[in-house]
Amino acid sequence: MHKRLLNILLLLGLLPSFMIGQDIHFSQYDMSPLNLNPALTGEFDGDYRFIGNHRKQWSSVTIPFTTFSFGADANKLPFGPDNIAAGIQINQDRAGDSQFNTFMVNLSGAYKMTLGTDSIQSLSFGLRTGITNRNLNYDPLQFGVQYNGFSYDGSLGNQEAFTTASRTYLDVHLGASYSYYIDKRKNITAGLALFNITRPKQSFYSDDDIRLDARTVFHAAAEWKVSDKIDVMPSMLFMHQGTYNVFNIGGAAKYVLVDFMGTYRTVWAGLYYRNKDATYLSAGMDYDNWQFGLSYDINVSTLVPASNLRGGFEISAIYIIKSDIPKRVLHRICPDYI
């Protein structure tokens, strides 16, 4: 009974932050670029990119919160200017006992322009828009009036009159990104994005004053070669939404196994910190056109007594299709006597 009561109290404490308006997030935000900034649409070396992300958290506290994300984008379209990119992003997030579900389908586009004559610097502007549906199931929830004086009795009515269990809305997001690309192992990126510009209504009680807060995002990352085999990859992320601020900072080290004639294989690992929430470990690998990432959050927030330091597990994968594959050039060797 005490554990069930704790779960209910935690759920009631957590639900407002989701229902009134925080967006989904990933610890491996760099492995979900279309969710990070619309301007990152098409920002990769190749023709087509496919992205998958899965996050599972709070298993030790209540019913696990799960997030799935799938994205695909094209560096350039088969028609029109070469500096126009397009993509699609599908997200689904399910949270807690109420099975509070958020489903998003977004289309994004980006315009890329080079700075200077050497093309190593570029600036991109992106737009993302789409439909979001949020719904919940009231049946699994427990209410005080269902306590019969001795224990919880699910057969008792909850005496609540709910207006609706679903809401669908259109949303718009903008972004800009700067890239300084010296080569594959020396590059810097930074970006600024504004999400939920339309501030859509969120209330399940038809209260027009409850809206999804706009979210401002600033991110920066670098990959820098420090030796023939080792790169360092620092990164940071700052987000502001309503009364909430999130600051991520950390870095990883990459060990290059092979980098020759289109064969690129590495392993990497890093440590990151999200303010007042979690420290998380991340590791992954590049295998030619594939990139894989794993991370685990160690919760350090005020929820530690319930979470026992356990937070969220996350897995990500990216696959890039390249039409221009480097070919080995064969040279005829002349005999010494000629």
Q: What is the pLDDT of residues 50-92, one digit of tens each?
A: 999 999 986 655 677 899 999 999 998 888 788 999 999 999 9
Q: What is the pTM of this model?
A: 0.84
- Enumerate residues 6+ apart whose C-beta is below 8 A from 136: 98, 99, 100, 101, 165, 204
CATH class for the domain made up of 2-154+163-321: mainly beta
Q: What confidence tier does 25 reach under pLDDT thresholds 50, 70, 90?
A: confident
Domain boundaries, the chain: 2-154+163-321
**Cα 183 from Cα 180, distance rounded (Å):** 9
- pLDDT at 18 exceeding the cut of 60: no
pLDDT, the chain, mean: 85
Token pair of 294, please?
């794993």
Main-chain dihedrals φ then ψ at residue 15, nearest 5 degrees = -60, -40
Q: Give residue for tokens 């080995």.
A: 328
